[in-house]
Structure 1
Amino acid sequence: MAGNADACEAALRPESDESVLWVSYTRPPEDCLDRLPSVPDDRKTVVDIGGGTRAAAAGTAATPTDGEISVAEPNDLTGLGIAIAEQLRDTDGVHVCFDSITAMLQYVGTSRTYTY
């Protein structure tokens, strides 16, 4: 997982007026946000997929904060699509990293993922 985070961190280096969107199945949103210290808070967003499932397994509560959007079910491609589309619609000049297609395939079949 560290390799995916490193790849996203490297890819999400915007110009001064651009924003970043990190879509993650594998990392808690606060970890993603913390890996981008040079990006102002108002220009970075994480779409956390299945965070409620991770929090329940860890025995903690998953409460989205500023810069976080939660998609509760990891197989909810409609919810994921809406979350991403809203961020892209509301923001010009966005760098996006999707972490990770492999994790997505664990929850959604290849055919549905390809269609998505």
Structure 2
Amino acid sequence: MLSESDVANHEEIKYALSHIELYVRPVKSLDELLHNNLIYDAVQMNFIIIGEASKRVSKKVREDNPQIDWKRIISYRNFVVHEYFGVDIKVLWGAITFELPKLKSEIEKILNK
């Protein structure tokens, strides 16, 4: 059973994931994302939210769910915050298209336990 705090953090992650999905829905390519500053900035902000909420997830929940690379999520948040203009757009696009759908599924499983 998740604590209230862990539920809130997972809901925050889910919220940010759903917003990234919404924002990138009209984007058809990496190049389009790169040239749409509003979407790019909104997506990056939601990655920061995901990383912040992930940092607050309890150690026990993180240990019980090793299928999620919590450390990598938090590290990406730190990188975006400190090196915003150094973000590799290909890494970002890969995260959006491949990693986020998996993360969303895992977060929903945790919330539904």
Question: So what's the TM-score if we normalise by structure 1?
Answer: 0.31
Q: Which has the larger helix fraction?
A: 2
TM-score of the pair, normalised by structure 2: 0.31
